[in-house]
Amino acid sequence: MENPVANKFFDIVVVGAGPAGLSFARCLRDTDLKIALVERSPLKVLQNPPEDGRDIALTHSSERVLKELGIWDHFPINQIGNIRDAKVLNGKSAYVLHFDSKTTGSEYLGHLVPNHVIRRAAYEMVKNQENVTIIAGVDVIDTETNLSGGSVALSNGSTLNCTLVIAADSRFSDMRKKMGIDAPMHDFGRTVIVCEMTHSKPHNDTAFECFHYEQTLAILPMYGDKSSVVVTLPTDKSQHLLDMSANEFASDIQQRFGGQLGDMKLATKRHAYPLMGVYAEKFVKTRFALLGDAAVGMHPVTAHGFNLGLSGAYTLATEIKTAVAKGIDIGAASVLGKYQAKHRAVARPLYIGTNALVKLFTDTSMPGRILRGAALRLGNILPPVKKKIVQQLTEIDP
Ligand SMILES: Cc1cc2nc3c(=O)[nH]c(=O)nc-3n(C[C@H](O)[C@H](O)[C@H](O)COP(=O)(O)OP(=O)(O)OC[C@H]3O[C@@H](n4cnc5c(N)ncnc54)[C@H](O)[C@@H]3O)c2cc1C
């Protein structure tokens, strides 16, 4: 049988049809650029991604971009949670750092949407896009680029030639390694366990982040009487929580949260993710760019990962569209260099700030505890500090 993509030439080959790769392809819907999107998961997984426990807090800017791309319209209404208030608690202290949506002039700080819903909606929008060819169930095994073009070798024996290669192949990106881009990994030595839980008392659209010295517990409001539960703890202590029966786990979380949500019940599987941060030393090379987690893999505590990936996808697509309009080669170093400069300017402070926050809130030493208490009070007392935090939580502009 004839291979439909063998020896075909594309303007852009995107490795990875995760949320970043799909959103990037969607950003280029109004161009004549021919795009191949190669994904190792089978087509049925792209069509109906499994629930993976990640519930994504979306900023106002992401909401705007997802609406512009038509992706938001594919979110079922009963899958969109509202975050109106956020409260941060420090250990057993009764002191609360409170972020109230009213102070932002908006009705909410952000929305919470399950990752599998975002992935399905993004696929729905891209699947019939005329300039995109989706090649699913196939691994990219190698890539090479030079001044005149790039090539991508697939596990089915085909080779795709192109003008530009984009790697959106996760924080463990093989393409980044193959292209010789250094990306120091930061192992936080912690694992995050995520799941959804129903409860007998309403959450009132309030998100809680409770820092208990070695462990953190985040409870994020979903649609209805359901919350996303995120427990972060040292990796060697995580198995114990995963081994608990559903009832034991539910009463453990209920107790950790002081029963504030009444009776709690596990509504999904528990999923565990070892926490690794990564920040690539450069985002571009000859006719090659890193996108999404492949460029920056964030600790989830500040909920920036996908928001940042989406902002990067929008920035890169905008530079490419400008190049097309001016008749410039889309893989030119000047085009990719602009993406790199703009995206690094947004990503670097978020990456450094998030890692500093993680350090502050996991430091069990006495100075660490005092500093943490002071930071929470300063956040409440100093309006500019609070405003800056809220701005970072609600907006990541492309
Ligand atoms: C517990 C948790 C909670 C989170 N909460 C938030 C949040 O609240 N807000 C937020 O913004 N972000 C959050 N994130 C981060 C967010 O999930 C990620 O930033 C986002 O999923 C990254 O998308 P991506 O497309 O870059 O990578 P991925 O989702 O990792 O997708 C990469 C894709 O590439 C494919 N692939 C890899 N290698 C190859 C290859 N060689 N050939 C073909 N295909 C390949 C993979 O199969 C995969 O489909 C959270 C993450 C976790 C773990």
Nearest residue to 79 via CA among 178, 181, 221, 204? 221
Own/partner contacts of 356-363, CB < 8 Å, gap of 24 or more, are: 357/301, 357/302, 358/188, 358/299, 358/301, 361/90, 361/211, 361/216, 361/301, 362/190, 362/211, 362/213, 362/214, 362/216
Q: Considering the domain boundaries, does residue 14 fall inside one?
A: yes
Q: Considering the domain boundaries, does residue 395 fall inside one?
A: no
Q: Considering the domain boundaries, does residue 136 fall inside one?
A: yes
Ligand 1 atom with the smallest distance to the CA of 292 is: 26
Q: Considering the domain boundaries, does residue 174 fall inside one?
A: yes
User: What is the percentage of the chain residues whose pLDDT exceeds 90?
Assistant: 70
**Enclosing domain of residue 313:** 9-51+117-185+278-359
> pLDDT tens, 79-122?
999 999 888 776 566 556 677 777 667 788 899 999 999 999 99
pLDDT, position 389: 54
> 171: Cβ–Cβ under 8 A, 6 or more apart, which residues?
276, 278, 293, 294, 297
Residue 96 CA, ligand 1 centroid: distance in Å? 32
Highest mean pLDDT among 7-16, 167-176, 347-356: 167-176
Q: Considering the domain boundaries, does residue 164 fall inside one?
A: yes
pLDDT, position 102: 72
- State the pTM of this model: 0.91
> pLDDT tens, 292-338?
999 999 888 777 899 999 999 999 999 999 999 999 999 999 999 99
Residues with CB under 6 Å of ligand 1 are 15-21, 38-41, 54, 56-57, 115, 139-140, 168-170, 174, 192, 194, 273, 292-293, 300, 303-307, 309
Distance CA 179, CA 77 (A): 42
Residue 268 CA, ligand 1 centroid: distance in Å? 20
Specify the range with the lowest mean pLDDT, choosing from 75-79, 166-170, 273-277, 332-336.
273-277
Average pLDDT, the chain: 88
Q: Considering the domain boundaries, does residue 16 fall inside one?
A: yes
Beta bridge partners of 273: 192
Residue 130 CA, ligand 1 centroid: distance in Å? 25
pLDDT, position 13: 98
Residue 311 CA, ligand 1 centroid: distance in Å? 14
Whether residue 15 contacts residue 169, with contact meaning beta carbons closer than 8 Å, is answered with: yes
- Give nearest CA residue, ligand 1 atom 39: 169
Per-residue pLDDT band for 1 (boundaries 50, 70, 90) equals very low
pLDDT, position 327: 97
What tokens were used for 217?
């517990």
Ligand 1 atom with the smallest distance to the CA of 173 is: 38
pLDDT, position 105: 72
pLDDT, position 273: 95
pLDDT, position 5: 55
Ligand 1 atom with the smallest distance to the CA of 306 is: 11
Q: Considering the domain boundaries, does residue 397 fall inside one?
A: no
pLDDT, position 387: 58
3-state secondary structure the chain: CCCCCCCCEEEEEEECCCHHHHHHHHHCCCCCCCEEEEECCCHHHHHCCCCCCCEEEECHHHHHHHHHCCCHHHCCHHHCEEECEEEEEECCCCCEEEEEHHHHCCCCCEEEEEHHHHHHHHHHHHCCCCCEEEEECCCEEEEEEECCEEEEEECCCCEEEEEEEEECCCCCCHHHHHCCCCCCEEEEEEEEEEEEEEECCCCCCEEEEEEECCEEEEEEECCCCEEEEEEEEEHHHHHHHHHCCHHHHHHHHHHHCCCCCCCEEECCCCEEEEEEEEECCCCEECCEEECHHHCEECCHHHCCHHHHHHHHHHHHHHHHHHHHHHCCCCCCHHHHHHHHHHHHHHHHHHHHHHHHHHHHHHCCCHHHHHHHHHHHHHHHHCHHHHHHHHHHHHCCCC
- Give nearest CA residue, ligand 1 atom 2: 54
Ligand 1 atom with the smallest distance to the CA of 291 is: 26
Judged against a pLDDT cut of 90, whether residue 257 lies above it is answered with: no
Mutate to test the pocket of ligand 1, among 22, 56, 171 (most ligand atoms within 8 A of CB): 56
Whether residue 140 contacts residue 15, with contact meaning beta carbons closer than 8 Å, is answered with: yes
Per-residue pLDDT band for 2 (boundaries 50, 70, 90) equals very low
> pLDDT tens, 179-191?
999 999 988 888 9
Residue 303 CA, ligand 1 centroid: distance in Å? 13
pLDDT, position 80: 97
Ligand 1 atom with the smallest distance to the CA of 138 is: 43
User: In Å, how far from its chain's centre is CA 246?
Assistant: 27
Distance CA 166, CA 313 (A): 10
Query: How many domains does one find in the chain?
Result: 1
- Give nearest CA residue, ligand 1 atom 37: 169
CATH number for the domain that contains residue 341: 3.50.50.60
Judged against a pLDDT cut of 50, whether residue 342 lies above it is answered with: yes
Whether residue 335 contacts residue 329, with contact meaning beta carbons closer than 8 Å, is answered with: yes
Ligand 1 atom with the smallest distance to the CA of 170 is: 30
Beta bridge partners of 197: 227, 266
What are the phi and psi torsion angles at 121 (to 5°)?
-65, -40
Specify the range with the lowest mean pLDDT, choosing from 129-133, 212-216, 226-230, 261-265.
212-216
Residue 43 CA, ligand 1 centroid: distance in Å? 17
What are the phi and psi torsion angles at 272 (to 5°)?
-115, 135
pLDDT, position 151: 96
- Give nearest CA residue, ligand 1 atom 3: 54
Q: Considering the domain boundaries, does residue 23 fall inside one?
A: yes
Distance CA 230, CA 279 (A): 23
Residue 170 CA, ligand 1 centroid: distance in Å? 5
Residue 148 CA, ligand 1 centroid: distance in Å? 30
> pLDDT tens, 203-232?
999 988 887 767 788 899 999 999 999 998
pLDDT, position 95: 58
Highest mean pLDDT among 123-137, 203-217, 341-355: 123-137
Distance CA 248, CA 246 (A): 6
Specify the range with the lowest mean pLDDT, choosing from 95-99, 211-215, 245-249, 350-354.
95-99
